[in-house]
Amino acid sequence: MTIPITQIKLRRLKMQLKHPFTTSFGTMQDKEFFITEVLDDAESHGFGESVAFSSPWYSEETVQTNYHVMKDFLIPLLHRNVIHHPDDVLDVFRPIKRNNMAKSALEGAIWDLYAKRKNMPLAEALGGKKEEIDVGISIGIQPTVDDLLSTVDRYVQEGFKRIKIKIKPGWDYDVLAAVKKKFPDVPVMADANSAYTLKDINQLQRLDELELMMIEQPLAHDDIVDHSKLQAVMRTPICLDESIHSLEDTKKAVQLESCRIINIKIGRVGGLSEAKRIHDFCRDHGILVWCGGMLEAGVGRAHNIALTTLSQFALPGDTAGSSRYWEQDIIAPEVTVENGRITVPKTAGIGYDINEDALNRFTVEEETFNM
Ligand SMILES: O=C(O)CCC(=O)C1=CC=C[C@@H](O)[C@@H]1C(=O)O
Ligand SMILES: [Mg+2]
């Protein structure tokens, strides 16, 4: 059976975040991204979302490179090749190096379309079994420690299963110690977004006192070797984010013992099929995984929820509810969190409808490709 793709639509959206999000790199207020739509000959629609940011601070990809790569390389490849199963997309896109977020935006739409054609939830199509997923929340760098403590308090009251605090040199030990002191029973982790080097080893080792769940990406965005040196002298588990782009990277990190945990982001690894392969490898090698976030709108959020239903996603991810990010999301119903849990939708595909009014309101450009 083939998946007869007849048309692909790229919509460029611009949405304003409810609250600015600050990391060790800077502050984000607006989010620009693509919603991809893939149609088949029976007028079923699959949806995907690109997660690159407007500037290349998190990875080398941007909204503009996503557009260039999708339009000039990936869509022509889909035009020339027959897809039988969404896993085929990995091989079809293989001649194009990296550009994983662009690949994932199209591959995700094909997965959604495939699940809808089978009339099954995307979670089930991926092999996921959970009916509910546990979620945590990622808190950006705040103006003061008091601001941070009151923000953490609000999210703890709401029931989030773990709190992730963004850190950078000068906003680390004291801040985390203050959080641990006020909330001794709340699982807390830190994310450095590669703000340290091995020269900071003493400062990083000191974090062991705080019994954090993990520290995410303390060292360079493209490093696996130094992280292995750091993990050897730290009790706190290291979690890799930016460094992992593929199953190959995962194998190297596991072999070198560079981390004990991996944050799987669908966009960063080039799509759901590669995310699943990484998940399976980690399951077989005792590495815990969780699903990271990229401040997604509803479509990307729905893909994250589906992926998190796989068994090795044993730690709460960053997929909070729509209202934490947006006044109005582009899906109906919106994603909601109750007591730190999201109920996995049971309807076909991503399990949420597109809110056409909202989608149109936030669309700034649109382009259609007939296949
Ligand atoms: O709430 C979310 O979607 C996760 C937010 C978050 O922590 C991140 C989003 C984007 C880039 C990074 O700053 C970061 C991360 O590194 O995980
Ligand atoms: Mg991270």
Q: Is 193 in the pocket of ligand 1 (CB under 6 A)?
A: yes
Pairing of strands 188-191, 215-216: parallel
Q: Return the pLDDT at 1.
A: 84
Q: Which residues are catalytic?
A: 166, 265
Q: Return the pLDDT at 127.
A: 98
Q: Is 138 in the pocket of ligand 1 (CB under 6 A)?
A: yes
Per-residue pLDDT at 215 exceeds 80: yes
40 is in an annotated binding site: no
What are 329's two structure tokens? 């999301």
**If you measure from the C-alpha of residue 53 to the centroid of ligand 2, how many angstroms do you get, rounded to a whole number?**
14
Q: Return the pLDDT at 221.
A: 96
How distant, in Å, are the alpha carbons of 189, 217, 258 from that of 228? 19, 12, 4
**If you measure from the C-alpha of residue 191 to the centroid of ligand 2, how many angstroms do you get, rounded to a whole number?**
6
What are 227's two structure tokens? 């992280």
Mean pLDDT calculated for residue range 190-211:
96
Residue 93: Cβ-neighbour burial (10 angstroms; 0-12, 13-18, 19+): buried
Which ligand gives the minimal distance to the CA of 240? 2
Nearest CA to ligand 1 atom 4: 293
Q: What is the pLDDT of residues 27-55, one digit of tens each?
A: 899 999 999 999 999 989 999 999 999 99
Report ipTM (2 d.p.). 0.97
CATH homologous superfamily of 5-119+355-370 equals Enolase-like, N-terminal domain (3.30.390.10)
The number of the ligand 1 atom at minimal distance from the alpha carbon of 292 is 17
What are 355's two structure tokens? 């809110």
Which ligand gives the minimal distance to the CA of 56? 1
HSE at residue 325, side-chain half, CA atoms within 13 A, is 25
Q: What is the pLDDT of residues 297-332, one digit of tens each?
A: 999 999 999 999 999 999 999 999 999 999 999 999
Nearest CA to ligand 1 atom 14: 294
Mean pLDDT calculated for residue range 227-253:
98
Per-residue pLDDT at 24 exceeds 80: no
Q: Return the pLDDT at 23.
A: 79
Q: Is 250 in the pocket of ligand 1 (CB under 6 A)?
A: no
Q: Return the pLDDT at 228.
A: 98
The number of the ligand 1 atom at minimal distance from the alpha carbon of 242 is 16
| Residue of 31, 264, 295 with the most ligand 1 atoms within 8 Å of its CB, for mutation | 295
Cα 76 to chain centroid, rounded: 26
Q: What is the pLDDT of residues 68-122, one digit of tens each?
A: 999 999 999 999 999 999 999 999 999 999 999 999 999 999 999 999 999 999 9
Are residues 189 and 318 in contact, defined by beta-carbon separation less than 8 angstroms?
no
Q: Is 318 in the pocket of ligand 1 (CB under 6 A)?
A: yes
112 is in an annotated binding site: no
41 is in an annotated binding site: no
The number of the ligand 1 atom at minimal distance from the alpha carbon of 191 is 16
Are residues 76 and 5 in contact, defined by beta-carbon separation less than 8 angstroms?
no
Domain ranges in the chain?
5-119+355-370, 124-353
Q: What is the pLDDT of residues 326-364, one digit of tens each?
A: 999 999 999 999 999 999 999 999 999 999 999 999 999
Q: Is 293 in the pocket of ligand 1 (CB under 6 A)?
A: yes
Q: Return the pLDDT at 89.
A: 98
**If you measure from the C-alpha of residue 71 to the centroid of ligand 2, how many angstroms do you get, rounded to a whole number?**
28
Q: Return the pLDDT at 301.
A: 98
pTM of the model: 0.97
22 pLDDT band (50/70/90 cuts)? confident
Query: What is 124-353's CATH number, 3.20.20.120, 3.40.50.2300, 3.40.50.720, 3.40.50.1820?
Result: 3.20.20.120
Average pLDDT of the chain?
A: 96
